[in-house]
Each structure stands twice: as structure tokens, then as C-alpha cells.
Amino acid sequence: MKLSGYLRGYKKETVLSPLFKFFEAVLELFIPVIVARVIDRYIPAGDTRGIVLMICLMAALGAVGFGFSVLGQYFAARSSAGFGTKLREAIFDKVESMSYSDLDRTPAPTLINRLNSDASGAQSGLNIVLRLVLRSPFIVVGSAVMAFTIDLSSALIFTATVVVLTAASLAVVLSGVPVFRRSQGALDRVTELTRDNMTGVRVIRAFIREDEEIKSYDEATEKLSRLQKLAGRISGALNPATYVIINTALILILRSGSVRIGSGSMTQGQVIALYNYMTQMLTELLKLAGLIVMLARSYACAGRVGAFLNSAPASETEKRRSGGEKAAESVGGAAPRVEFRSVASAYGAGAEPALRDLSFKAYPGETIGIIGGTGSGKTTLVNLIPRFYDVSSGAVLVDGGDVRDFDPAVLRKKCAVVPQKAVLFKGTVRENLMWGNPDADDAALIEALHTACFDDLASTRDGLDTAVAQYGSNFSGGQRQRLTVARALVRRPEILVLDDSSSALDYATDAEMRRRLASLDFSPTVFIVAQRTGSVRDADLIIVLDDGDVAGMGKHADLLENCPIYREIHRVQFGDGEVTA
Amino acid sequence: MKTNKITRRAILGRIVRFAAPYKFSLIFSFLLGLLSVSLSLFIPVLIGRAVDMMTGPGAVDYDGIVPILYAIAACAIGSALFQWLMTAANNRITYNVTRDMRRTAFRTLQSVPVSFYDGVAHGGLVSRVISDVETVSDGVLLGTSHLFCGVVTVAATLVFMIRLQPVVAAAVAILTPLSLFVSRFVASRTYGYFKEQAEVREEESAFSEEIISSQKVVKAFGKEEDVKRIFREINARYEKKTVRAVFFSSLVNPSTRLVNSVVYAAVALIGALFAVSGGITVGALSSFLSYASQYTKPFNEISGVVSELQGALACAGRVFEVIDAERESPRSEGERIGSVRGDVELCHIDFSYRKDRPLLRDVTLSVRAGSHVAVVGPTGCGKTTLINLLMRYYDPASGRITLDGVDVSTVAREDVRRNFGMVLQDTWIRSATVRENIALGKPDATDDEIERAARAVRAHSFITKLPDGYDTVLSENGGSLSAGQRQLISVARVMLTAPPMLILDEATSSIDTRTEIEISKSFERLMEGKTAFIVAHRLSTVRDADLIVVMRDGEIAERGTHEELLSENGFYKKLYDSQWRGAEIGEG
């Protein structure tokens, strides 16, 4: 995973931190040598002054080591916090650059997880590595190196120990991985069953399935605990194995040490020093083993972040087509504002087209109704106009130019979309409406609210300063829909798209809003996506979609007569009697 | 504060009861811990003795050393083996208790009243059963084991040291725990920084969550650069707070090490001076140094366990809230009835979810077997509540409901439910195959029966188009199925069990036209000859009903057939005009 790039700007800190930790480790490695000297020279000689001096040196080394360590921790904090910040920024920027089709592929909760938990996981992983993990190899390898300065054959025992320890830990980890994976799967199953039984409580009770549910839960929990115990037996072997290996090495050192002391080539103090090095190694390795779980988690986090950041760059829809150049001017009254020329569109290369062979023209001031069931291609159609998606064949023209020849920002300024899901953002009503146009004044905002049939709001106590909670949850569905319509109107767009955005309004308000929209002074071309025939019956053109195909096109009365699907939709909603309205 | 202590003790008592079946494992684990720790702590003494037998050239007692080396090997192997067995025993206890607690909680959840679920967030409930239970068994059981091992380590170390030399032992025992106070001191100072960091983190995640979940709107309005700017500003503040919090908290380790190295030096000094005067041998000095370097560890562990235990007890409180949730009477308790004919009567029903807000008032309704009742009315008028009462998910505050003349409150709940087939608007699909989903109410149904049910409700053709047909595994939210297909599956479920009465909740958000037609046809098929209550949204359903019940503010406002009600020119007429007749009013 190529996340190292996000350390750029923190190179100094990232190098200095381990360097200072290294200095600290080196100082610590001197302690056994000093102890050896005290034992070999000053104790036999009874030199109390020498002893005190040496011990003061030890304490001084500790104090200097503390200084190094503090510096190391500081740079580690700087580096990891900086890394995490860069990472979060990159993830957020990437999300902002994603096209609609990218967003379809990656659901929002996944994106939020990458940003808020995985990036922190990677950040704390780096911090742990810099602060804690690197210390262990310094001490382990350093101990082996120090052993070389004391005695060659003992040093070979140290080297062999390091090799055997590495092999043993690898063996434990590798044999554990498949079991851990299976036990994670079993845990997921238990979680799934728990959640299933909460969301489905009414159905489970209706079918009197409680006892069967308990039985399958018992099976799932049994399997989980069995696998957890197995995994525990494997991972629990690591520390005892380390312990046995280190002590075996110690025995070998004492054995060879005794021979070499006997022959006068080593001193008692040196054997004690080697013993201390072994103990230091053991302590560090046990600490490291304790960090493995955390590290594995961080590693997985970093992997997910890396995969996300390295995934394909922003798609074509976010760029002007090369060679194309379309300025922002609007068309005169006679030319179509929006034109579809045998448009087909599919979500993804191999997918069935969501829209097939659609051609029509829409002029300024006209209202176009689009009707059909869920999945019939209504939203697909309107999303092609601001180029949220690209056509797979044919062309969409706005003001006489292919939408692919526009700067996407310019094109999208011409359009205002009221999405199906009416969401607002935390802040005030004014701030939310000004999403439509950051330069709008209060009069413009109030006018937009009027058109959206929400005059009441302006006369409330806080008016435009009324607070909006996250997602606009302090407003009712109908109020939210009217606010999102107003937000779009503030832009005074050439093209206004209402994607099923009056579903929560009562009939009278819906009709009144449509009436006010039809008499707007900037005469936008309005696209109304609807489920019900009532909302589109006055449109200049109604497009009936059925599973991506155009099932009919025309005015309400024609369609009732000539289009069976339109008639069917009408019948299901209004019953047989009213077909001939 | 006192009550708090009592409940804490009560919680601990409950956990002990869960651990009781494994008391032998627990005793075994303690015993193994005692042995393992003691053996490993004896090794420094043995090494000290060995070192004393190799004082210099020609002064090495080879014969004396060998048995000591064997003893070291025996201690190391024994200690490692006992440690491994102890871990296994601890795992057995922890994982079994986790399992048992989850099972107990799950059994409670199967017998609490449905109202329990309506009052809580499901996500929170899941995390209580899954992660909180884990924290409890980890924290309390492993914590206890670590606590015990920690205490044994301290005690055994003291014993070994005192036997070597009491004065030096006293020095180690008194000086070493100093580092604990230092680390406590540093940790307490960092609390404030963490709080500041957490505040900014919360701000950042709230902002990013809101923006990302509405990213398409951000894009539609071209606000990408604006939100990026705001994010950067919050993120920069977060970085500053993070550096501070992480740095100060990471001072704990170096401070501890500083104190440790000073203590080590002091022990070395005292030990060396004793050695000069012949008070201890060089080997004993090395044993002391080894103890001095390890003696802080158990203290750190003990203090870690204590704080972990507090967290675990808080979690345990949440877990026991679930386990102790009030259960309703067993669903098989009461008069047992078989299949009913389907006469339903509601007499003066009053009901409210909250005392101050009555939801149903004096609802009286008589339905003959085989007739179809459409319930209509604006949102919040009490339609769904009616379903809750019929299925006995809730019981009315006053009044009674009878089935074939029998008061349902005297009948076993499961027998009432067995007589109803229910299809709800928000369909529930479980994580299992299509086949298992359809056979939910009749797990022993044959493949043939399942297919017949699916065919009857026109679900067979789309099911066969799924990747694995009837064996396609569906996920909890239905995965790739459309809303309409999910509803067809739940209609098939009811088709398979063929109950004498039905409760159908039509979908408000219209699904694609063709499926909608399929569903209304399969509903018709399902309702043939059965008593049916339909929460209706489609005019065609309403018009075909034998009886339309118009609900308004928890009361039955009007009742009758479509024509009767229209001619009354009352609330139904108004409702009809606003919901279905839009096209006819128009603007012309």
C-alpha cells in the first residue's frame, strides 16, 4: 500500500523520531557493560568511590536517555498526527472528486469509515511503530551486537536465538491466521443473527419462530466459542515458546561462559552482562507480542485506505471533453434548451441499459413530465442533463452544445436539481438556501420560499435564521421538500429538475407549487419526475418510461388514449372509473 | 454513591454466577498461574547461584553448575507449559461465559414484548450483545486472572529477595513502585488534552458524515471546494490537538523508564556496597538487578486491570439491562385454540404508547369471517397500531378483541398469531437463502410446496432468474432484490402457511408499475375466502373492500363501502380527493 507519500512534509520528524529512540536504546545497552565493570573491577578491589562513580554514570545515562526519548515521542506524535491529517485530507478530497457513478459503487457508510476510522487506525499504527515497535529490534539486535563485543561464541548463541525466535513467531502467526479468519467469520454470523432478530422481531413472532431462532443462535455461538478457543490455544503458545527459547539460550550461555571463565578468557561480570542482555531481549519481545494485535488492525486499516486512495481517478464526467469547447451563453427563444438525440445510458460497461433510444426537445419555459415505475429510468434521464452520468450512445445537448463539451462547473450552474431525498445541511435556513447562489440577497431567498409555497417560514420568529439540524431532521418531510425546492430556485436556473420532490406534499400544495413554478419570470425549462399521473398531467410533454424504454410521449389526454402503460399507471392509482377523465 | 457501590457489587455477583459453572477451570487456572509465576521467578536465583560457581580462572565448579542448569531448564519448561495451560483454561472460561451471556440475552430478546424493540436503537442493542459482552468477559475474567498473577508475582519476588538479603530486598520493594506514581501523575495530566482532541474529532466526523452522506447534493450544487475548505480548517485544528494529546500521553513510558533506571542504579549501588562488605555474593547481586528490572511490571498490570475492570463493569451494567429486560408471559400461556373461522370483533378499544398521548380511542369494529376490511386514513391516525393489537404485539389499555367470540387476551399469544398471516410494508428479509426465507413459517416445507407458494404469488419467475435460484443467499436488507420482489417473497411466506386471516400493509412508496400490478394480483389470490385487514393506499384495493374503515386521530371517523362513503361527503370524500382524485380536480 502506497501511503508513504502522505508522510511527505513530515520526513524530518519521521526520521528523527526513530533516530532518537535508537540513541535511547544504545544508552540502555551500555548499562550491562557498566554493571559488568563494577562486578569485575570495583567490587573485588573494594573501591567504593569507583562504584559510586559508575552508578552515577548509570543514572546519568538514564537521564540523557529520557531526554532522547522525549524528543523521539515528540517527533513521533508530530509525524503520525501529520500523516493522519494528510491522509484524511486526501480521502476527503478524493470523495469530493468522485462522480455520481463512483458514488454509486461505494456507499456513503464505507466512505465515512475510511475517513473517520480507518485513517485513525493507520495513524495510530504509525505512531505505535515509531514509538514502540522500532524499539524492540533496536534492543534485540543491539543486544546481539553488544554480545559480539563481549565474546564471539556467546554472540553466536545470541544470533541463533534471534533466528529461532523469528521462525517460531512466524510459525505461530501463520498457523493462527486461518483459524483467526474462521473465528472472525463465526463472529460475523453471530452478529448477523443478533441483528436479524431485532429487525425481524415482528415477522419472527408472527410465524412463531422463536424456538428455532434460539436453536440456530445456540449453534452459531457454539461454533464461535469453539473457534475462539482454538485460536487462543495457538496464539497463546507464542509467549511460552519465546520464554523457553530465551531460557535455552541462557543455559547455553552459562554453560559456555563457565568454560571460558575457567580458562580465563571471560570474566564473571561479562557473563552477568550477557544474562542481562538476554533478559532485555525477552522483555522487549513480550512487549512486541502484546502490540501485534493492534498492529494487525492498523495494517488492515491502512490497507483499506490505500486501496481506496489508489482506486481509479475521477471519471470522465468530471472533465470537459478534449477538443470540445462550449461557452456558457444561453439560447434564444426558438432553439431547444435541452435536446436528447437517440440517447442510451447504462450504469457500467456490461450492464443492461437503464435508458434506450430516447429523443426529445425541450424549450425554455416548458414543463416536461417524466413518469414510470421504480427502475424505469426516470432519474437516469434527468441525471444526464447536468452530466452526472455520461450517455453510452447518442448525445445530450444543452443550449445547442453537447454537455460533454462544457466545463462541468459551468454546465451545472445552468441546472438546479431537487433530489428525491430531501436533505439539508446543519446551519441556518439562509445558509442552506444560499447553496443555490452564494450572492443571493434576502429578498431573493424569500421570493424562492414563496414559489416553493413556504411563505410561512419567513414569518416565523427566526425567519431565515431558523436553525437547521443535521440532514434537516428538525423539519417535516414536506417542509424539507419545499426548502430543497426553494434552494434550487435561488439559483434562478435555466433548467430545473424536480426528481419526485413533492411526494410528501398534499395535493393542494403540490398543485399550487406547480402553478407558481409555471409563472416564474426567468422561465426555466422544468423537468418533473413523478410516480403519479396527477403531478404531470399539465406538462407540455410527458415521457412515459417502462424499464428503460420509451413507452409513450405526448400530452396527458393523448397518452390516456394511446399509451397502455400510462393508462395502467393511471388505473392502478385512480381505479377504472376515472380512466376517461 | 452508596447505591452505586451496591449495584456494582450486584453486577459483580451476577458475573460470578455466570462463571460458576466453570469454577474448576478457574481454580485450575489460579493454581497454574501460581506455579508458572513462581517457577519463572525462581530462575534469577538459580542463575545467581550458577554465577557464584564461576568466579574466575580455575575457580569454576563444573559439577555444581550442571544440576543448576538442569534446574533452570526444568523451571523454564514448567513455567512455559503451565502458562500455556493457564491461557487455555482462561480462554475456556472467557469464551464460554461470553457464549452463555449472549445466549441468555438472546433468550430474553425472544421473550420481551415487541414494545421493547420499538423504544431502542437496534445498533446499540446489537453492540450490547456483541461487543459489550466481550468486554465484560475479557475485562472481568482475564482481568481477574491478571490481577491474581500480578499479586503472586509481587509476593513471590518479595519472598525470593528477602531470602537473598532483607535490606536490599526492602530497597527494591520500596523504590520500585515509585514509577507507578510518576506514570499516574503524567496520565492524569493528559486527560484534558484527550478531551480537547475528542471534541474536535467529534466535530470533524459530524461534518464529514453529513457531507459525505449527501455528496450528490454537494456535487449538484458545485460546492466541492467550499466543503473542502471547511474540512481542511477543522482537520488542521484536529492535527494540533492530536499532536498535543498523543505527545503528552506518550510521556508515560519514558517517565516510567527514567524512574526505573534511577531505581535500578540505586539498587545496584546498595547491592554493590553490600557485595564489597561481603553481605551478598555477586550472583545474588545479579539476581537482585534482575528482580529490580522486572518488579514494576506487575504493578503496572494491576493498575491497568483496575481501570479495565471499571470499564467492564459499566459494560456489564448495559448487558444486564438487556438480560433483565422484563419478559412478557410465555406465548403459549392461556387458552389454546386451533384454526378459527375468522369472525373478528373489536369492542371499545383504547390504546396509547405513551400515557399522555392516546392513540386509539373507543374503537369498535365487527368483521364477519371472509370479509375484506380496508383501513384508510392520514399518517399517524392509528392504522399501524391496529395491526399491533390484532397480532398481540401490544395489548389494548381497555376494551377487548375477540376471535370467533373468544377474548384474545385469554388465548395463548402464539395461537392468535398462528391464525394471522401478515405482510408488512417494510419487508423483512433475513440473511439466508430464498428458500429459507419463504419457508420461514413452515421450516419443514418441501421444495415442491415452496415452489408452489412462489408460483401462486408470481414470485417464481424472478426467483429462477437469480444467480442460484432458490438457493441464492439474500442479505439482511434484501441485497439485490427490489422492494417489490422482497414484498413478493414475504407474500409467498404467508401463502405457504395458509392462515385463515390476513393482515396486509400496502406499500406507500410505489414500486415499479409491473411489480405493483403483480403484487396486487397476488394479494387478491392470497385473500380469497379469508378475513383480511388491509392498510390500504391504492384506490383499487379500497374500492373492492367489503368495508372501508376511515381512521382519524385514533378514532373511526366513518365506515361503509366506497359508494356509501362518497355519498356521505365527509372525511373520506376529502381524503379521496387529496390522495386519489388529483387528476380529476386538476386546474381546469
List for chain B the helix, strand, coil content (%; round to 5).
65, 10, 20
- A488-534, pLDDT tens digit by residue? 999 999 999 998 887 777 777 888 888 899 889 888 999 999 877 88
Where are the CATH 1.20.1560.10 domain residues in chain A?
Answer: 4-151+266-309
Residue whose C-alpha is closest to residue B130's, from B82, B156, B98: B98
Q: B377 or B111, which is more confident?
A: B111
Kindly state the cell numbers that stand for B412.
395463548
The verdict on a CB contact (< 8 Å) between A222 and B254 is no
Nearest CA of chain A to the CA of B107: how many Å? 7
At residue B480 the predicted structure's pLDDT band, cuts being 50, 70 and 90, is low
Amino acid in position A270? Q
**Predicted local distance difference test score (pLDDT) of residue A82:** 95
pLDDT at B513: 58
pLDDT at position A325, please?
Answer: 67
How much is the pTM?
A: 0.78
CB atoms within 10 A of CB B325: 16
Q: What average pLDDT does chain B have?
A: 86
* pLDDT number for residue B417: 93
Task: Verify whether the Cβ–Cβ distance A255 to B543 is below 8 Å.
Answer: no
- pLDDT tens for B240-292 read 999 999 998 888 888 888 888 888 899 899 999 999 998 899 999 999 999 98
pLDDT at A326 over 80: no
d(CA A217, CA A191): 10
**DSSP classification of residue A114:** I
- Residue from A40, A131, A205, A470 whose CB has the most chain B CBs within 10 Å, to mutate: A205
Tell me, which fold does domain A334-578 have in CATH? Rossmann fold (3.40.50)
% of chain A surpassing 90 pLDDT: 52
Is the CB of B325 inside 8 Å of chain A's CB atoms? no
Asked if B214's CB is within 8 angstroms of A471's CB, the reply is yes
Asked if B186 is an interface residue toward chain A (Cβ–Cβ < 8 A), one would say no
pLDDT band at A575 (very low <50, low <70, confident <90, very high): low
Q: What is the model's pLDDT at position B5? A: 46
Under 8 Å CB-to-CB from B436, ≥6 apart: which residues? Answer: B430
Cα separation, B527 vs B298, whole angstroms: 71
CB contact under 8 A, B91 and A115: no
Chain B residues 113-132 with a CB less than 8 Å from chain A: 114, 117, 122, 125-126, 129-130
Spell out which residues of chain A touch residue B221, defining contact as CB-CB under 8 Å: 412, 416, 435-436, 487, 491
Q: Which residues between 541 and 560 in chain B have a beta carbon less than 8 angstroms from any beta carbon of chain A?
A: 543
Residue A45 makes CB contacts below 8 A (sequence gap 6+) with none
Q: What's the rounded mean pLDDT across residues A193-213?
A: 90
Please name the residue ranges forming H helices in B112-177.
114-118, 122-127, 133-136, 143-164, 166-175
Chain A residues closer than 8 Å to B243 by CB? 77-78, 81-82
Question: Does domain A4-151+266-309 correspond to CATH entry 3.40.50.2000?
Answer: no
Q: Alpha-carbon distance A500 to B302, whole Å?
A: 62
Q: Which of A103, A202, A471 sits opposite B393 (nearest CB)?
A: A202
Q: What is the pLDDT of residue B2?
A: 34
Reduced DSSP (H G I as helix, E B as strand, rest coil) percent helix, strand, coil of chain A, to 5? 65, 10, 25
Res. B102 pLDDT band, cuts 50 70 90:
very high
CB contact under 8 A, B65 and A214: no
Q: What is the reported pLDDT for B523?
A: 80
Cα–Cα–Cα angle for A477, A481, A487, nearest 5°? 140
User: Which pLDDT value is given to residue B536?
Assistant: 80
B446 part of contact set with chain A, CB < 8 Å: no
- B55 neighbourhood in chain A, CB within 8 Å: 261, 268
How far apart are the CA of A378 and the nearest CA of chain B, in angstroms? 11
Quick: pLDDT tens for A420-456.
Answer: 888 899 999 999 999 999 999 999 999 999 999 998 8
| B306 shares contact with chain A (CB less than 8 Å) | no
pLDDT for position A275: 93
Chain B residue with CA closest to A217: the answer is: B103
Nearest to A221 among B59, B103, B587 (CB): B103
* Of A458-462, B191-195, B273-277, B422-426, the least confident: A458-462
Burial class (CB in 10 A: 0-12, 13-18, 19+), B508: exposed
Best residue in B201, B229, B232, B246 to probe A by mutation, most A CBs within 10 Å? B246
Q: Which three cell numbers mark B105?
A: 440475552
Residue-wise pLDDT for B369-415, tens only, equals 999 999 988 766 778 888 889 999 999 999 999 999 999 999 999 99
CB contact under 8 A, B126 and A191: yes
**Closest chain B residue to A80, measured at CA:** B243
Average pLDDT of the residues in B502-526? 72
Region of A267 please: left (phi>0), alpha (psi -120 to 50) or beta: beta
More confident residue, B300 or B333: B333
Share above pLDDT 70 across residues of chain A, in percent, rounded to a whole number: 94
* pLDDT tens readout for residues A13-64: 999 999 999 999 999 999 999 999 999 999 999 999 999 999 999 999 999 9
Dump pLDDT digits (tens) for B118-177. 877 777 888 889 888 988 888 887 888 888 999 999 999 999 999 988 988 998 888 877
Identify the three-state secondary structure at position B277.
coil
The chain A residue lying nearest B562, using CA atoms, is A575
Identify the residue among A282, A374, A432 best suited for mutation to test binding to B, counting B beta carbons within 10 A and taking the highest.
A374
B370 closest CA partner among B400, B404, B395? B404
Residue A305 confidence (pLDDT): 92
Task: State pLDDT tens for residues A466-486.
Answer: 999 888 878 877 889 999 999
pLDDT of residue A224: 96
Q: Looking at residue A324, what is its pLDDT?
A: 66
Report in angstroms the alpha-carbon separations of B190 from A460, B183, B194. Answer: 46, 11, 6
Q: Which H/E stretch holds residue B400?
A: strand B398-403
Phi then psi dihedrals of residue A527, to 5 deg: -105, 125
| Cα gap A508→A512, rounded to integer Å | 6
Query: In the prediction, which pLDDT does B349 show?
Result: 93
Q: Is B563 left (phi over 0), alpha (psi -120 to 50) or beta?
A: alpha
Average pLDDT over chain A, rounded to whole?
Answer: 88
Substitution target from A105, A234, A254, A367 for chain B, most B beta carbons within 10 A: A254
Residue B507's pLDDT is 64
Please give the Cα distance from A540 to A525 (Å, whole number): 10
Alpha helices in B439-588 (DSSP H): 447-456, 460-464, 483-497, 513-527, 539-544, 562-568, 571-579, 582-585
Q: Check residues A368 and B263 and name the one with the higher pLDDT.
A: A368
Cβ of B95 within 8 Å of Cβ of A232? The answer is yes
For chains A and B, count residue pairs whose Cβ atoms are closer than 8 Å.
450
Chain centroid to Cα B452, Å, comes to 38
pLDDT at B365: 93
Contact A415, A406 (CB under 8 A): no
Output B294 or B61, whichever has higher pLDDT. Answer: B61
Which residue of A47, A92, A184, A277 is the best one to mutate when testing the B interface, meaning the one whose CB has the most B CBs within 10 A?
A: A92
Q: In chain A, list all ranges with CATH 3.40.50.300.
A: 334-578
Chain B nearest-CA residue for A88: B235
Q: At what angle do helices B282-294 and B23-52 cross, to 10 degrees?
A: 140
